[in-house]
Structure 1
């Protein structure tokens, strides 16, 4: 639990740095000038979409601990007024840092103006909130939990109020002007059909894509903007299926822990993180960023590490 709190602290620190740079209009990453995404929040990342994934993981990690404290409060034998008082005392004493971390990380995510980053995060946080609500005891307690399912909608409204013009404009441009990544996907499928078993070699996308690129693609694509298609293109179907099966095995193990343990929030957090990253990987390459991979694997370690039962020595 201590390591998870340190992880959340680091996430909040990155978000705070990104917010300072953004509102100061510095357009720098540390002491380097930005080469891309000027005027947008990227913290110490170059790509805003990758940072949106990273910030989303931090937001959900802090939110999972808040939900854990809330569950303990809701399932005590005290009356409703005492429960509310205890929760407020916790939130204003030791728990206020978690609330600040949620706010900082989510605000940073919004200001990246990443369309799919926001959609993937909302998918993950919906799984987190729904899974948490369904594990609460039946009755008023579960009704309170289900009422909190409005949180994703509240977050979406907050996004529209803070950066609504930019977000709506970006979604509108997707339908009006299109996105060249959707022109790239059929070409990647053609390349996969040429070498479906062995692929072109790990890390060879940029050079291999030149073999199928046509005159309709005016932008240089160093990555495929779809981790799944790019992976199949580079290492072939058999290796891809084996690799993805490892993630599915971890997901199934986390689901088992979520259903079987009383203290289930960390397992549920890993499930929600998998949903967020899995959705975003459909149209981007966040899982190729070491910081995102390490954060995801850390949440996996937190989920499975917390599941170990201590036995008498």
Structure 2
């Protein structure tokens, strides 16, 4: 049994939440100075937690101990990147960029580890989840207001691109869409965690539940989800919207299939999301523009197919070790042809970018870690009785499916804010299966 939780790491926990809030603000932390700040902060927080652990002032949580295979796989990929970044070995076409990405890799692992170590109580788990949802709400409100009012500000500066669509404090609308989908996934999971699995009984109990749904925290959460969907539609991101609705339907089907205690309220909630969000929200906030962009997507209008083909050629030329993490924009000119006239800094396909930069040796551990986490979250959806744990596993599964789909046409995982938020989502997957509350004289344990 886990030792009683200490409050010695309270300062680390709240600093962790502060870092989670900060990450999306400075252009998704996709600048060298903000990347360096995040990396330093995450590594320092983990170092301080390890210091407390060595002095027996905090204890390791059960999810942290159980997640050692995922941590080991992520470290293996990070050490492969470290090996690439050694200047004298000439394994990277740009060692300095590889060194930056290696630092970011270790920072993301630190963020994942901190999530597992610090989220050791129901209160902390909920605080972390609702903090992420609140960040999504802020991005939704800010991005929507900038677009609907025509103000068009990003992060303290006028936008010089993507005018007329929501970008929030990000630069690219697709990255705001990816971030919103992460927040929506965990928001929907927390919504499911509030649903009652038992029958209402008499009319008084039904009335009490209806009033609670209309006036309580559940109503606030539902309104928050609607506002984030509005912003998602306003991004006009094709795959952002497609991946959200596809992932919601796939995960909903999995939850109903695996959830031996799935209630009628779960079915009603998922159905209402499709009806209200698509037909009502979409009608007023321009989902037809997203549909138009999907219909107009043809091979003659898009250059991503050619970029993907040339990226595969780059990968074949550097099969095992890749060109060096963070070096795609430097290595791509080697294989690009005259039909690509635009400046290409990313592959617009996360899988291909990881493969070309890290090779099979660096990419395979990342893929295995993701697949292992997906299986863990599936198992939690099947085994756990706790509404909170089932909600976390739902959010993890939905986010992983959505990000996996979006990764085929964009590079969300190259954006530090999205990558770090996704690491928290992966941690939720492990927590959903292995978290157990501390037993006390007045504690009722609901697995």
Pairwise same-fold verdict (TM > 0.5): yes
- The aligned length equals 308
What secondary structure sits across from 1:33 in the alignment? Answer: coil
CA distance in 1 between partners of 2:341 and 2:335 (Å): 13
Question: Retained in 1: the 8 A contact 2:233–2:287?
Answer: no
Indicate which of 411, 434, 447 corresponds to 1:285: 411
Given the alignment of the two structures, is residue 17 of structure 1 paired with residue 145 of structure 2, yes or no? no
More divergent stretch after superposition (43-52 vs 259-268): 259-268
Counterpart in the other structure of 1:310: 437
How much has 1:84 moved relative to structure 2?
5.8
Equivalent in the alignment of 1:3: 128
What is the TM-score with the length of structure 1 in the denominator? 0.90
In the alignment, the residues of structure 1 paired with residue 170 and residue 198 of structure 2 have an alpha-carbon distance, to the nearest angstrom, of: 41
Q: What are the within-5 Å matches in structure 2 for residues 206-245 of structure 1?
A: 206-245=329-368
8 Å contact 1:191–1:209 — kept in the other structure? yes
Larger mean CA deviation between 261-270 and 276-285 belongs to 261-270
C-alpha RMSD of matched pairs (Å) = 2.2
CA 1:168–1:254: 2 relative to 1, 3 Å = closer
Matched, 1:192 2:315: yes
In structure 2, the partner of 1:150 is 271
Q: Provide Cα deviations, 1:135-173, integer angstroms capped at 9, x if missing partner.
A: 1547xx44x544554346423334652314422331232
Aligned residue for 1:39?
A: 164
Q: Which residue of 2 aligns with 1:265?
A: 391
1:300/1:242 Cα in 2 relative to 1: closer, same or farther (>3 Å)? closer
Normalised by the length of structure 2, the TM-score is: 0.64
Judge which range, 38-47 or 81-90, deviates more: 81-90
Q: Is the 8 A contact 2:236 2:287 kept in 1?
A: no
Secondary structure of 1:32's match? coil
Moved more, 278-287 or 301-310: 301-310
Distance 1:156 1:297, change over 3 A: same
Cα pair 2:191 2:391 within 8 Å, conserved: no
Runs of at least 5 residues in structure 2 that lack an aligned partner in the other structure:
1-125, 441-447
Counterpart CA distance in 1 for 2:405 and 2:437 is 35
Secondary structure at 2:292's aligned position in 1? helix
Q: 1:146 to 1:86 in 2, by over 3 A?
A: closer
Report the equivalent of 1:166.
289
SS in 2 for 1:167: helix
1:297 aligns with 2:418: no
Give the match's secondary structure for 1:35: coil
Contact 1:12–1:105 at 8 Å: present in 2 too?
yes
- Structure having greater relative contact order (Cα 8 Å, sep ≥ 6): 2
| Contact 2:155 2:170 survives alignment (8 Å) | no
Residues 99-120 of structure 1 deviation map (CA, whole Å, 9 limit, x = unaligned): 1210111110000000011111
User: 1:28 and 2:190 equivalent?
Assistant: no
Deviation at residue 202 of structure 1 after TM alignment: 0.8
Structure 1: gaps (5+ residues): none
Task: Please tell me whether the aligned partners of residues 125 and 152 of structure 1 are also in contact (alpha carbons under 8 angstroms).
Answer: no
Give the drift of 1:304. Answer: 3.0
> Which residue of structure 1 lines up, in the alignment, with residue 86 of structure 2?
none
Matched, 1:119 2:242: yes
**CA spacing shift, 1:130–1:87, aligned 2, 3 Å:** farther
Q: How far off its partner does 1:206 sit?
A: 0.8
- Cα distance, 1:4–1:91 mapped onto 2, change above 3 Å: farther
Q: Is the 8 A contact 1:8 1:62 kept in 2?
A: yes
